[in-house]
Structure 1
Amino acid sequence: MERLSQQRLIAGLCFICGSLLLLIATTSDPIAIRNVRSQFAQIVQIQIEVLRNWQQHGRLNRDLAYGSRGSDIVLLQKMLAQDATNYPSKRVTGRYGELTQKAVRGFQADYGLPVTGMVDDATRAKLNDIFFSELCPQPRTIYPDMLYKKMSGESFLPPDYVPPGLEDISKKVPTAGVMCLREDVVPYLVQMFTDARNAGVDLMVSSGFRRPEIQKYLYELRVRTDGELASREIARPGLSEHQLGGTVDLTDASIGYEGAARGFAESLGGIWLEQNAHKYGFTLSYPARVSETTGIQYEPWHWRFVGVDMATSLKARGTTFNEQPDAMGDLRNLTAIRPNAAP
């Protein structure tokens, strides 16, 4: 059984988050609520930090065995610690000892690999594939292409929707860790970053594709703690443009690469994007003027790819993509096509 598969990782995270949400629901103590929010942030950060460490190492890239030491052993131990069954101690020492060797043996047995206790070519490849698929999953259900779907409260994305062709962009543009985007959007983003850099603006991606499972628990937590205000600060599950795979949150060096910052609108990057993003097919989804009608607060960092022609037209008309007629229609009654299923 693949204990370290993306489904198990997410299920474990969601179980913990669900427990925290239950605690919030049964207490009105503001101190307790703050503590729970802090715990949730720490849980999410643990997951993100492991993935960021993995990306910064350029994946596990050498054989590892009993007695090995170094930063890549730290990364290996953090990866193994995501599965408490094989590595219950979760010790991160930077030394490949008996506990790490035992955990590697358990991992190899789970995946039908030769049980050597060493991180050899096959084991290393499997670990790298698992962590990459956690960030850039492949669609398991085939839907119509939704890159240009209008997002509204009347038409939700299917909960199992994953956009096609997700690609890691962390090697192509500056990012705050491993980020994924649709491969057909990436060239436009890369060119935009290149031209911005040539103009003296250093942009960075702080968020890209976001799994709907994480969006769900982020939203529910905010509802428990912030009530009705949550819907103005974070999209409901199924309504996040990040799930489409063509949307990025951006920041820049002039504000210290702060993420989701109101001040980004007045930053060098924010001003440059306002003047130029449409040339590369990106449009601002939630400008200040539509916050009352959309119910979403002003997000100067949130840029969505809609194609050069559409973005240029929207810029000229001073309107947003979500104010246009919905070419995709209501997705609630769409029949999904599963791979290998009969048409």
Structure 2
Amino acid sequence: MEAATAPEAALGPTLKVKEASTADADGPQASPRRGAGSSLPQLLPPIEEHPKIWLPRALRQTYIRKVGDTVNLLIPFQGKPKPQAIWTRDGCALDTSRVSVRNGERDSILFIREAQRADSERPGPPQSIKLVDVWGSSATVEWTPPQDMGNAALLGYTVQKADTKSGLWFSVLERYHRTSCTVSNLVVGNSYAFRVFAENQCGLSENAPVTADLAHIQKAATVYKTEGFAQRDFSEAPKFTQPLVDCTTVIGYDTQLFCCVRASPKPKIIWLKNKMDIQGNPKYRALTHLGICSLEIRKPGPFDGGIYTCKAVNPLGEASVDCRVDVKAPN
């Protein structure tokens, strides 16, 4: 170092630097003195600059890559003295087996040869899920958005239900955008729990909160009210729906006569031959079943021909039908 000359001192303090010799370096250094008419040489303080990161415009929004693509991020920075660039994920060190980092003088490069879904960040789970109301076969559930969106916009929520009998979860809503929903068509007699996942472009949240209360779908009490009605009167006077038919028979061959009658109450059936009652005659056998009346003439002879009548009688009235029976000798 050398001192400034008188004219230079008048102009103000200046500093001149010359190459120091070996003798100067080995010799004793003079102690600094301060005087009114003298100026001592001074060294400038080292220049310092806080570290700064210049984030590229392409990285100022969500950086999206497909699974299997290469990830190559170059982040410029500046600062004096030279900053030390450190990459972390969620506050933890990177997996050096898959991720490589190269730090230069003015930038740092993060390189991933093949991106995996695990490299992305999913959203956090929704908060404060609760069962609001249950009525009929429906239930209403509410929740609040997740605190961590995963650095990406939410695509929606996935709502699932599970009954306590099977314990299996089924999705009822996907990519639902509201923070409350009503789940319908629940099975009567079952109890249900609900949970909600948040979803962004990286996928569903790793876990989902479950409602603390169960939705009990109870069977509504059914009250049967019988209305009075007039008892229908099925009483009916006898009426023949199928009459007797005239027939011709051969001597010695059994012959049967048929007719149908409808009446309520059940009528009394009387068979007549030529207007004479033949009830109790062993030559004839009369049967009545479900309104079908039959008369069997056993081995008719020449004198068994004539007019046969079936008569039905009940408290409401009577009715009768007749037919002609001819008996011929065999050829």
TM-score (norm 2): 0.19
Higher relative contact order (CA 8 A, sep 6+): 1
More strand by share: 2
TM-score (norm 1): 0.19
Whichever of the two has the greater Rg, that structure is 2
More helix by share: 1
